[in-house]
Amino acid sequence: MPEPSDVPAAVSVRVAMVTGASRGIGAAIARALANRGYAVCLLARDGAAAAGVASEIGARGGRAVARSLDVTDEAAVGEATEAALSLWGRIDVLVNNAGLIEREVPLWEADVEQWWSVITTNVRGPFLMTRAVVPHMLAAGGGRVVNLNSGAGTAERAELSAYCASKSALARITGSTHLAGWAQGIRAFDLAPGHVRTEMTLSMDLHRGRTEWTDPAQVTDLVLAMAGGELDAWSGRFVRAGADTPATLRERAGLGMDHDARTLRLRPWGATDPLR
């Protein structure tokens, strides 16, 4: 990330941090936020690729910096957060996009290290980022966290046990962040991007032969609406690009929602179930 002398510090614009921002959905989100006027910190393992996206944003007149980051490294996450604060003076939006997926095999055929790496990246990463950033949001009066989740987090798949488990866990992180932070101005969202054509989705057997894809703009429209406070009624809940739009979500919120709507819950067998 550039030194503070390279980019004015404590800029009076909203600031966003985006993980996994070197390509795919993360890069699209970073570009959209910058186009909306946010100063954007792009974080990714591939720092050179993230820097390329940041340079592209800068060439169009946007404010962006990049930093190589392993989101599972607690010390590095803390350093990246402090660097962003020293550079811009604030963090208004955190987008936890970095993620991994395993080879599509039954659990008992899974490679142990690869399986656990998916859990570590997809769960420990958002945990560490949220833990590092939210205290600064609280001190400033609030902020918004957008977690890139998946429909895989709401149901099991025979060949994606780690990915499904990690996204279910991520929903709990989102819900906990919402409940603990709501009264203090923190909003947290689960956003499933649908089927966006990326390197990851193209590598999956699940999407082999797919001809219909989710437009990345449908994802970024929802991120911008969440970041801007238009969808605060959906804090703690699950939304999906390609099925939901900012307009339909605002309309649904205006009609009222059940407490458990669009949340991950145990389904009772009926009115007599003791676990209701």
The pLDDT tens digits of the residues spanning 17-43 come to 999 999 999 999 999 999 999 999 999
163 a catalytic residue: yes
Identify the active-site residue in 163, 189, 234, 238: 163
**Token reading at 247:** 């307009």
Q: Which helix (H) or strand (E) holds 178?
A: helix 161-181
38 a catalytic residue: no
Q: How many Cβ atoms from other residues are within 10 Å of residue 233's Cβ?
A: 15
The DSSP output letter for 198 is: -
The pLDDT tens digits of the residues spanning 120-177 come to 999 999 999 999 999 999 999 999 999 999 988 898 889 999 999 999 999 999 999 9
204 pLDDT higher than 80 = no
Which pLDDT belongs to residue 211?
Answer: 64
Q: What percentage of residues in the chain have a pLDDT greater than 70?
A: 88
Q: How far apart are the C-alpha atoms of 93 and 2, rounded to whole Å?
A: 20
Q: How far apart are the C-alpha atoms of 186 and 225, rounded to whole Å?
A: 15
- What's the fold here for domain 15-255? Rossmann fold (3.40.50)
Which pLDDT belongs to residue 212?
Answer: 73
The pLDDT tens digits of the residues spanning 175-191 come to 999 999 999 999 999 99
Judge whether 173 and 130 are in contact, CB under 8 Å.
Answer: yes
Which pLDDT belongs to residue 239?
Answer: 96
Identify the active-site residue in 31, 167, 178, 187: 167
